[in-house]
Every structure is written in structure tokens, then in C-alpha cells.
Structure 1
Amino acid sequence: MSHSVEIGAAYDDIADLYIEVVEGQLAAQPLDRAMLDTFSELLRANESGPVLEVGCGPGRITDYLSGRGLDISGIDVSARMIAYARGRYPNLRFDEGSMERLDFGDGTLAGLVAWYSIIHLPPDRVPDVLSEFYRVLRPKGHALLAFQAIETSVAVEAFDHRVALSYRWSPPRLAEVLRDIGFTEVCRMVRQPEPDERGAQAYLLVTRDH
């Protein structure tokens, strides 16, 4: 069984609980909304275009960004998450798919969001996935990544996520990986955990210059 299939099956197994936990969560997270709103504003200022959320889960972030005027769709490896998203947001497009092989042509997307979706990737596979993000973004396109952060000299650290093994990244280290691929950093934010979170949360907004 491939890694993507394993992660999809793990989320299928806890889909109902996961959806219940994250439902309405964004309304209580003004800093998270600020990053999403900044991403939306930058895309609209650049005439926007197609946007993709990779690892969209139940579709809440896709829906939020659609409400901010973006032409956005979502993909996920969990069939149950996609089924829920399609039923909950019938005006939006959701498809099963893996971030490791995006079904989009080179330079076709104005924006891409990976909202806590790279966290389950083994660290050695992250550069290839970020290169795939770079491939599908057009020049001046933006990507927004959210992830659990580690604020020590350690670059990346495994932790026991409730669904599957995950990895916390040092924001400077992940920014370095993005830079090596060709991205330019626009903004970086690290916020302290909410009461139900087990560590700091980080957000990186980057652009493809060429």
C-alpha cells in the first residue's frame, strides 16, 4: 500500500470525528483567517485565476477562500472527505487526488494552498512535493502552507498525530527548502497554540517569481 493510500485510509476511518472537530474552527482563529485573507488579496491583485487546495479534507478552507472571491477547487486522498465536501459545498469542485502527482499542467495555477497537508509526508519526500507545487504555479503565483512548528535547532521532528505519523518543521528550515526549489518568501507567521493544540503553528506564504 502506498503512503498516499495509507493516509487516505486513515482519514477515511476517522472522517466523522475529524469533521466534527474542525467544523467552525476557523471562526475562532483570527490569525489563521488573516493569512488566508492576505493570500486571497494578493491573488485578486494579480488578476487571480485557478487556485487549488491540496489536502482539502472536508472542504472548509476551500469554501472560505471561495467566499473571498477565488476560483478554487480541492483535492484529497480521502474518499470520505471528498464525498462530504461535495455534499456540503455542492457549488465547488472536489476530486480525489494526491499532492505528489498533481493533475494540472505546468504554470496553470494562480495559487495553491496546503493547509496542514504536507505534515504527513516523510521529510525526504517534501522537496519533490514542493517542486510539484512550483511546477503547476504560474509566474507570480502564490502558495500558502500551514504546518505544526518546532522552534528549536532541530529542523524537523516526528510526532504522534491523532490520525497518522506527522512531522513538525522548523519554519526557517522549510523556508530554506522552498527557496532552494525557486520560491521567494513573502511572509512568515508563527503563532502560539490554542488550548486544544499541542504546539506552535506556522504559516509560510511564498511566490514563484519566474
Structure 2
Amino acid sequence: MTESSCLGTTRTAYDAVAVEYSALFRTAHESKPLDRAMLSAFAELVRSTGSGPVADLGCGPGHVTAYLRSLGLTVSGLDLSPTMIALARAAYPDLRFDEGSMTALDLKDGALGGILSWYSVIHTPPELLPTVFAEFRRVLAPGGHLLLGFFAHDEPSHLAEPLPFDHKVTLAYRWSPGHLADLLRQAGLDVTARLLREPDEDERFLHSRLLARKPSRSPDV
């Protein structure tokens, strides 16, 4: 499969800022109680099913991966940027981190009990998002859970087009939570919860989290 040019652009952009990014965001979740609540709920749901390990897809320097481990999950991280992966391995040598793309995961069908995608789809062009969500469904075990975090807008959910914006690293998109929920359903995942929070003083945009689940009885299992 030929790599999309956007993947190369994103990889290069994050390699260039990896050290600064790691220092800036390493403890970001500590000051976001609603974010920690969603991560904790996700961890509890995964533990309750006992359906396999968790992958933090788009893990960056690994700080949220390590936080999930502190919540009792067996977790590993994957990121497009080799520099990010090197930083994660140095910071958390007892966790596994690999380079890779969400568009073609090197995982067996049904291998995961959970997926965290924490702002890792924000740079994904709209035409590639169904491919990414199909991969999420493929690698989740029946009953497995997904937590998706992203920048949001409050335009009507029927609007198919995301709103691009000048992210500090590279081009990114804001999505209607309702539209992303529809895309997840089209990929075969059941959306079970959603959260929309206002931006903090140092933030520009709305933030959204979607919890989804692969049905326990799916047609291809």
C-alpha cells in the first residue's frame, strides 16, 4: 500500500517538534479533570470486558500511554514519528512503543480490547478517515472499546466537511461530534457516550470525546 503524502508530511512535522512537544504536553492531562475522567471511564470499561490489551494509537512521547498503564491497563503505544517513539522509549523503557500508521495497523484481527486515539486523527484528511475507523474496528475484539479525542466545532452534525485550521505543527481539522459518530457507526462501531467541553483559557476550540464499542456479536466474527 503506497503511503499517503499526508502521512509523510505529518511524520516530518512531528519529528521536527518532538522534543518541544514532549516538554509542553507531558503533564497536560493532570490539569484536565474531565479528560482524566474519560480516560478513567475508558480504562474501567476495558478492564470490565477483559478482552485484550490496549493500543494508544498516535501516542506521541508516551505520557498518556503511561497514564493508562497507571489505571491498570496492559498498554502499548504506536506513532508515525520515529523521534516521538524514541522519546517515549527513553521516558518509559518498561512500555512497548512502535512506529506505524493507523491506516494499516500491524495487528491481527480482534487483537485489542481497547484503542485510545487521543487527538491522533486531527491531521487525517477526510477521505482517509473511513479507512482509519475500519482499521480500528478490525483490530478490536468483539466488545472492545474505543476512546476518540479531537477538536470539535458546533456546526450541524449533517455537515460532512470538517473545518481545517492552522495547527501549530501541521494542517489539522475540527469535526462535528455528530458527524464523527456517524462515521464510527458506518465503520461498524456503536457509539456509547460523547462529551463536549468548552475551551480552557489557553485553548482556542471546543474539545470532544467519543466512546465507542465493537459489538459483541459482529457479522464477520
Matches within 5 A, 1:117-132: 117-132=120-135
Match of 2:9 in 1: 6
Partner of 2:20: 17
SS in 2 for 1:14: helix
Q: Which amino acid aligns with 2:143?
A: K
> By how many angstroms is 1:48 displaced?
4.4
Q: How large is the Cα RMSD of the aligned pairs?
A: 1.1
Query: Where does residue 59 of structure 1 map in the other structure?
Result: 62
- Residue number in structure 2 paired with 1:28: 31
Equivalent residue of 1:189, what SS? Answer: strand
Q: Which amino acid aligns with 2:37?
A: A
* Among 161, 176, 183, the residue aligned to 1:177: 183
Q: Indicate the residue corresponding to 2:207 in structure 1.
A: 201
Question: Could you tell me which residue of structure 2 aligns to residue 168 of structure 1?
Answer: 174
Return the match for 1:145 from 148, 157, 162. 148
Q: TM-score, normalised by structure 2?
A: 0.93
What per-residue deviation string (whole Å, max 9, x for no partner) do you get for residues 45-78 of structure 1? 1124211011000001100001111111001011
Alignment of 1:34-73 (within 5 A): 34-73=37-76
Please point out which of 159, 163, 166 is paired with 2:165.
159
CA contact (8 A) 1:193 1:199 kept: yes
Tell me the equivalent position of 2:136: 133
Does the 8 Å CA contact 2:51/2:141 hold for their aligned counterparts? no
Q: Which runs of 5+ in 2 are unaligned?
A: none
Which of 111, 114, 120 is equivalent to 1:108?
111
Identity of aligned residues (%): 48
2:90 to 87, 91, 108: 87
How many angstroms does 1:116 deviate by?
0.1
Name structure 1 gaps, 5 residues minimum: none
Aligned to 1:188: 194
Query: Residue 48 of structure 1 contacts residue 70 of structure 1 at CA under 8 Å; is this kept in 2?
Result: no
Q: Post-superposition shift, 1:23?
A: 2.0
Which 4+ runs in 1 deviate beyond 3 A? none
1:75 maps to a residue whose letter is: L
Under a length normalisation based on structure 1, what TM-score does the superposition of the two structures give?
0.97
Which amino acid in structure 2 is aligned with residue 158 of structure 1?
P
Distance 2:121 2:50 in 1: 27
